[in-house]
Structure 1
Amino acid sequence: MEVVIGVLLVLLLLFGIGYFIRKNVYREVDRLEARKIEIMNRSLVDEMSKVKNLKMTGQAEELFERWRNEWDEIITTQLPEVEELLFDAEDHADKYRFKKSRQVLEHIENMLDAADQNIEQIIEEIYELVSSEEKNTTEIDDLREQFKKAKKTLLAYSHTFGKAHPALEAELLAIYEGMKEFDAETDSGNYLAAREILMKNSEELTILQMKINQIPSLLSECVTSIPLQLAELLEGYKEMEEQGYFLGHIHAEAEAEKIAVKLEEYKERIEQTDIEGIQEALHDINESIETMYDLLEKEVRAHHYIQTESAKAEAELFELDRQKLQTSEETDLVKQSYHLTEQDFEKQRHITKQLSMLRKRYDHVKMNLTKDQIAYSILKEELTELEKQILIVKKEHEAYREMLLALRKEELQARQQLSELKVMLTEAIRMIQKSNVPGLPEAYKHLLEEANVSVKKVAVKLEEIPLDMVAVNILLEDSADIVKKLSLQTADIVEHVFFIEKIIQYGNRYRSKNSGLAVQLKEAEDLFRNFQYDASLEKAAAAIESIEPGVMKRLENSIEEDLEKIK
Structure 2
Amino acid sequence: MEFVIGAIVVVLILFIYSMVSRKKHEAEIDRLDMKKTELLHRPVNEELTKVKRLNMTGQTEALFDRWRSEWDEIVTVDIPAIDEELFASEEHVDKFRFGTAKKTNAEIAARLDHIEQKVDGILMELDQLVGSEEKNRAEGEEVHARQREARKRLLAHRHTFGKAAPVLEVQLDVLTGRFDTFADLTEEGNYLEARELLMQIQSEMDMLQQKMDRIPALMAEVNHTLPAQLAEIENGYKEMKQDGYLLDHLQIEKEIAQLKEGLARCREFLMKTEVEETDLIVSEAKDSIEFFYDLLEKEVMAKHNLFKDDEQTGSTIENISEYNSKLIEETDIVKQSYQLNGEEAGVPRRLKEEIYHLEKQYEILHGRIAEEKTAYSFLYDELKDIQARIDEMKKEQDGFAAFLQTLRKDEVEAGEELQSLRLRIQNISRTVKQSNFPALPDYYRDLTEEASQRLNETTMYLNEKPLNMKAVREKLDAANGAIDLLANKTDELIEQVALSERMIQFGNRYRRTHPNIGPKLNEAELAFRHADYGKALELCAAAIDKVDSKGLKKFDAQYNEELKK
Quick check: TM above 0.5?
yes
Aligned counterpart, 1:216: 216
Please report how far the alpha carbon of residue 221 of structure 1 lies from its aligned counterpart in structure 2 after TM superposition. Answer: 2.4
What amino acid does structure 2 have at the position aligned with 1:321? S
Aligned counterpart, 1:363: 363
Whether 1:117 and 2:141 are equivalent positions in the alignment is no
Q: Is the 8 A contact 2:269 2:277 kept in 1?
A: no
Aligned counterpart, 1:393: 393
Residues in 1 aligned to 2:268 and 2:318: alpha-carbon distance in whole angstroms? 64
Whether 1:72 and 2:72 are equivalent positions in the alignment is yes
Q: Is the 8 A contact 2:328 2:349 kept in 1?
A: no
Aligned counterpart, 2:48: 48
Residues in 2 aligned to 1:300 and 1:127: alpha-carbon distance in whole angstroms? 73
Q: Is the 8 A contact 2:89 2:101 kept in 1?
A: yes
Q: 1:333 to 1:269 in 2, by over 3 A?
A: closer
Q: 1:338 to 1:26 in 2, by over 3 A?
A: closer
Residues in 2 aligned to 1:397 and 1:32: alpha-carbon distance in whole angstroms? 101
What amino acid does structure 1 have at the position aligned with 2:45? V
Residues in 2 aligned to 1:32 and 1:300: alpha-carbon distance in whole angstroms? 93
- 1:482-513 Cα offsets, whole Å, 9 max, x none, are xxxxxxxxxxxxxxxxxxxxxxxxxxxxxxxx
Residues in 2 aligned to 1:69 and 1:398: alpha-carbon distance in whole angstroms? 104
Residues in 2 aligned to 1:180 and 1:67: alpha-carbon distance in whole angstroms? 29
Aligned counterpart, 2:291: 291
Please report how far the alpha carbon of residue 82 of structure 1 lies from its aligned counterpart in structure 2 after TM superposition. Answer: 0.3
Q: 1:329 to 1:14 in 2, by over 3 A?
A: closer
What amino acid does structure 2 have at the position aligned with 1:124? M
Please report how far the alpha carbon of residue 79 of structure 1 lies from its aligned counterpart in structure 2 after TM superposition. Answer: 0.6
Aligned counterpart, 1:165: 165
Residues in 1 aligned to 2:288 and 2:54: alpha-carbon distance in whole angstroms? 61
Q: Is the 8 A contact 1:407 1:469 kept in 2?
A: no
Secondary structure (helix, strand or coil) at the match of 1:50 reads helix
Larger mean CA deviation between 288-297 and 156-165 belongs to: 156-165
Residues in 2 aligned to 1:330 and 1:39: alpha-carbon distance in whole angstroms? 110
Residues in 2 aligned to 1:18 and 1:331: alpha-carbon distance in whole angstroms? 119
State the percentage of identical aligned residues: 36
Residues in 2 aligned to 1:38 and 1:323: alpha-carbon distance in whole angstroms? 106
Q: 1:201 to 1:2 in 2, by over 3 A?
A: same
Aligned counterpart, 1:130: 130
What amino acid does structure 2 have at the position aligned with 1:193? E
Residues in 2 aligned to 1:175 and 1:264: alpha-carbon distance in whole angstroms? 29
Aligned counterpart, 1:256: 256
Q: Is the 8 A contact 1:351 1:393 kept in 2?
A: yes
Q: Is the 8 A contact 2:324 2:352 kept in 1?
A: yes
- 1:292-338 Cα offsets, whole Å, 9 max, x none, are 22122112211211110011011112233344455566667787x85
Residues in 2 aligned to 1:117 and 1:109: alpha-carbon distance in whole angstroms? 12
Q: 1:340 to 1:248 in 2, by over 3 A?
A: farther
Secondary structure (helix, strand or coil) at the match of 2:38 reads helix
Secondary structure (helix, strand or coil) at the match of 2:346 reads helix
Aligned counterpart, 2:423: none
Q: 1:226 to 1:99 in 2, by over 3 A?
A: farther
Q: Is the 8 A contact 2:160 2:216 kept in 1?
A: yes
Aligned counterpart, 1:540: none
Q: 1:211 to 1:408 in 2, by over 3 A?
A: closer
Residues in 1 aligned to 2:279 and 2:373: alpha-carbon distance in whole angstroms? 38
Residues in 1 aligned to 2:340 and 2:243: alpha-carbon distance in whole angstroms? 56
Residues in 2 aligned to 1:331 and 1:6: alpha-carbon distance in whole angstroms? 124
Q: Is the 8 A contact 2:358 2:386 kept in 1?
A: yes
Q: 1:314 to 1:10 in 2, by over 3 A?
A: same
Aligned counterpart, 1:271: 271
Aligned counterpart, 1:89: 89
Q: 1:90 to 1:383 in 2, by over 3 A?
A: same
Secondary structure (helix, strand or coil) at the match of 1:276 reads helix
Q: How many residues align?
A: 435
Please report how far the alpha carbon of residue 148 of structure 1 lies from its aligned counterpart in structure 2 after TM superposition. Answer: 1.6
Aligned counterpart, 1:175: 175
What amino acid does structure 1 have at the position aligned with 2:352? T
Q: 1:176 to 1:11 in 2, by over 3 A?
A: same
- 1:196-242 Cα offsets, whole Å, 9 max, x none, are 22222222112111111212222332333223322322332233333
Please report how far the alpha carbon of residue 56 of structure 1 lies from its aligned counterpart in structure 2 after TM superposition. Answer: 3.0
Q: Is the 8 A contact 1:410 1:469 kept in 2?
A: no
Larger mean CA deviation between 34-43 and 141-150 belongs to: 34-43
Please report how far the alpha carbon of residue 254 of structure 1 lies from its aligned counterpart in structure 2 after TM superposition. Answer: 2.9
Larger mean CA deviation between 149-158 and 321-330 belongs to: 321-330
Structure 2 residues without counterparts, runs of 5 or longer: 417-455, 480-565
Aligned counterpart, 1:350: 350
Q: 1:241 to 1:98 in 2, by over 3 A?
A: farther
Please report how far the alpha carbon of residue 13 of structure 1 lies from its aligned counterpart in structure 2 after TM superposition. Answer: 6.3
What amino acid does structure 2 have at the position aligned with 1:48? L
Q: Is the 8 A contact 1:317 1:359 kept in 2?
A: yes
Secondary structure (helix, strand or coil) at the match of 1:186 reads helix
Aligned counterpart, 1:432: none
Question: Looking at CA atoms only, which structure, 1 or 2, has the larger radius of gyration?
Answer: 1
Q: 1:28 to 1:221 in 2, by over 3 A?
A: same
- 1:352-406 Cα offsets, whole Å, 9 max, x none, are 2222122112113213324555432232222122122223333444555667778
Aligned counterpart, 2:32: 32
Residues in 2 aligned to 1:396 and 1:39: alpha-carbon distance in whole angstroms? 96
Q: Is the 8 A contact 1:365 1:383 kept in 2?
A: yes
Larger mean CA deviation between 356-365 and 318-327 belongs to: 318-327
Aligned counterpart, 2:552: none
Aligned counterpart, 1:227: 227
TM-score normalised by structure 2 residue count: 0.65
- 1:71-127 Cα offsets, whole Å, 9 max, x none, are 222211111010111122334455665554333222211222232233333333333
Residues in 1 aligned to 2:393 and 2:21: alpha-carbon distance in whole angstroms? 107
Residues in 1 aligned to 2:77 and 2:400: alpha-carbon distance in whole angstroms? 115
